[in-house]
Structure 1
């Protein structure tokens, strides 16, 4: 990914949490639920190579999983509901929480990549062509 040299007009945290363009902070970052727009509608920033990878999903799984397990244990210790109550509540909480948290997490990571001018060089740190057997 190659970002231009212009400074962002908004903090990376504000842009990320509001799911806005990391440069101007006004254009929407997403087209649909999680698809990043090819470019900002307002300032024209090329977002076609913006990629947050699996990082946001991993954080969401860890955070949401911890919260849901603690809440399920709390509910069980306070009310001891039937098993079907747990099966009705927690999948809905997990799905809604994942969707609600994943958009801003993905946008935040993209905004931080822009702010820090992170680039993918497309090169490996080691030489894979060495076939001599010596490492």
Structure 2
């Protein structure tokens, strides 16, 4: 019975999509399919399709995932760093706030598009939200 299903399925539906590869491509903000086309059109806007291979990318549903993961990662880095810095150097409050507000903002801005690309790569590799549909 499985052989019949494999014969009837379209050829591109049987292609295995490597999760690790597509996650890495997404992290680099590249097309999860070909790895050479840019995924983003601007800072966070995902292109409707890849300009190199033509893979449709408009199916993605990254929504609240990237900001959540960004806060999770940055918070786990900044929190211990703040504690260590305060205990070691005992800075005045304004210097302390200035240093860590700038650091948290910079880290958040760096992580956000990369995590969005990573989530789109995961969705593409696992054929979520229309990425696996016949075209």
Instruction: Return the alpha-carbon distance in structure 2 between the equivalents of residues 14 and 64 of structure 1.
Output: 20
Structure 1 residue runs without a partner (length 5+): 121-135
Residue of structure 1 aligned with 2:48, choices 38, 45, 49: 38
1:108 counterpart residue number: 118
* Residue-by-residue CA offset, 1:73-100 (whole Å, 9 max, x unaligned): 1111000000011121111111110111
* Equivalent residue number for residue 62 of structure 1: 72
Structure 2: distance between partners of 1:96 and 1:37: 24
TM-score normalised by the chain length of structure 1: 0.79
Q: Which runs of 4+ in 1 moved over 3 A?
A: 4-10
How large is the Cα RMSD of the aligned pairs?
A: 1.9
For residues 49-88 of structure 1, the aligned pairs below 5 Å read: 49-88=59-98
TM-score, normalised by the number of residues in structure 2? 0.79
Alignment: residue pair count: 117
- Alignment check: 8 A CA contact 2:23 2:32 kept: no
Instruction: Write 1 or 2 for the structure with the bigger share of helix.
Output: 2
Give the deviation of 1:104 after TM superposition: 1.2
Q: Which runs of 5+ in 2 are unaligned?
A: 1-11, 131-135
State which of 103, 106, 112 in structure 2 corresponds to 1:93: 103
Alignment partners' CA distance in 1, 2:94 and 2:129: 48
